[in-house]
Each structure stands twice: as C-alpha cells, then as structure tokens.
Amino acid sequence: MKELPIRLVIDTNALFMSLHNPFGKAAKIISLANQEKIILFSPESVKAELFNVMKREFKITEEEIIFVIESLPVKWVEESIYMELLDKTEVKHKPDKPVEAVALLLNCEILTANYHFKKRADIDEIIKRTGD
C-alpha cells in the first residue's frame, strides 16, 4: 500500500531558506514537494511576506519574484478558510498566527525556523520519513 504524502504547513523563513540556499535542507523539502512526497500548505499572508522579503534580499524584478513564488509547490490557503481558528492560536507574534491557524485546520506540523511554534516539524525527520 502506498504511503500518503506528509502534509506540512511551511513558514516564510523556510521558503526563503529554500530559495537562498538551493543545496540546503529547506530546498530538499521543496524538491520532495515537487516529487509529491510532501504536500506543503501555507496561508496567503506568507506569500505576501515572502514577496516582501525577496524584494528586499534578491536583486530581481517584481515579475521574477511573482514567477518564483507561483512556481513553488505550495497550496496557498485563503484567510476565509482558517479565520475562525485565529482565536485558537497560541503564538504571540501576530504575523505567525495564520501559519498556526492553518496547521490547526489541517492538523499538521509547521516547517519553520521559529522556535515559538509548538507543533514544529523536525526537518531531518521529515527527510528521513520520505526515504530520501
């Protein structure tokens, strides 16, 4: 029986790290998502935050940034879908509340470099579980 793909919510910092270092562990997660071994979800707010970070950190045009973001293997979740769960989030940093709300909605872990999330995914364990 084929094992179901691992579902994760991915935060802005993990997406940025995957773009900044194409040979790092975060980039490996993107590769696994492209292979459909992992399914990545993220709130639309992360897309906007990633755009701003890329605009500040990379010397590319806004059109190129949009192309890169749209090429990521991420299922973007609209705020209306998780809005009712925002009050149930525990994270204090307001921009991270949508990330936690999507994780609550989907009952899955968060791939992030931020330690203040309780349901953080262990990137090494995720890579190991996919058999790569």
Tell me whether strands 38-43 and 74-77 are parallel, antiparallel or unpaired.
parallel
Q: What is the pLDDT of residue 71?
A: 97
Question: Alpha carbon of 43 to those of 11, 22, 23, 67, 82: distances in Å?
Answer: 9, 23, 25, 18, 9
Tell me the pLDDT tens digit for each residue of 14-39.
Answer: 999 999 999 999 999 999 999 999 99
**Residue 88 pLDDT greater than 70, yes or no:** yes
3 state DSSP class of 92: coil
Torsion sign, CA atoms 115, 118, 119, 124: positive
What domains can you pick out in the chain, each with its CATH number? 9-124 (3.40.50.1010)
Q: What is the pTM of this model?
A: 0.93
